[in-house]
Structure 1
Amino acid sequence: MIKLKRLNGETFTLNAFMIEQIQSYPDTTITLINGKKVVVKDSEVEVTELITSYYKRIGIIHSLSEVGNTSE
């Protein structure tokens, strides 16, 4: 889960696994896997860093790198 700010300054927590796409229009727009769009104050780079940090905290980045290094 990552903490973000809406355009009105209100904070909310978003499940990072629900994110399909992040774009800057110039406002940062996050498209979720269910098609819903959320516009936030945080920059695209900040959101990406929050997601990466979250994945590291829960150990998924290490797991993904191990999967990529296996040979069949």
Structure 2
Amino acid sequence: MICLTRLNGESFWFNALYIEQVQSHPDTTITTTKGRKFVVKEPEEAVIKSIRQFYQKIGLLRIVDKAGEDSFET
């Protein structure tokens, strides 16, 4: 789960597995797989970074740090 902040300043935890889309127009809007939308204070890049870290933590995304192999930068 990732911690996000509503526009009113209230923090909440969000299960990143349900995120389908993240957009900035200009506020960062997260769309879930069920079509619900959440507007948060964090910039789009920070949300994406949090999602990547969460995926790495639960083993859905791995970083390979060996020459000649694919790697994913965070």
Where in structure 1 do 4 or more consecutive aligned residues deviate above 6 Å?
A: none
Across the two proteins, how many residue pairs are aligned to each other?
A: 63
Gaps of 5+ in 2: 63-69
The residue that corresponds to 1:17 in the other structure is 17
Higher helix share: 1
Tell me whether 1:53 sits opposite 2:71 in the alignment.
no
Gaps of 5+ in 1: 63-68
Percent sequence identity over aligned pairs: 52
**TM-score normalized with structure 1 length:** 0.84
Amino acid in structure 2 at the alignment position of 1:31: T
The two structures, once aligned, show a CA RMSD in angstroms of 1.1
The residue that corresponds to 1:31 in the other structure is 31
Amino acid in structure 2 at the alignment position of 1:16: A
Q: Deviations over 1:19-69 (max 9, x none)?
A: 00000010000000100000000000000000000111111102xxxxxx8
Q: Helix, strand or coil for the counterpart of 1:54?
A: helix
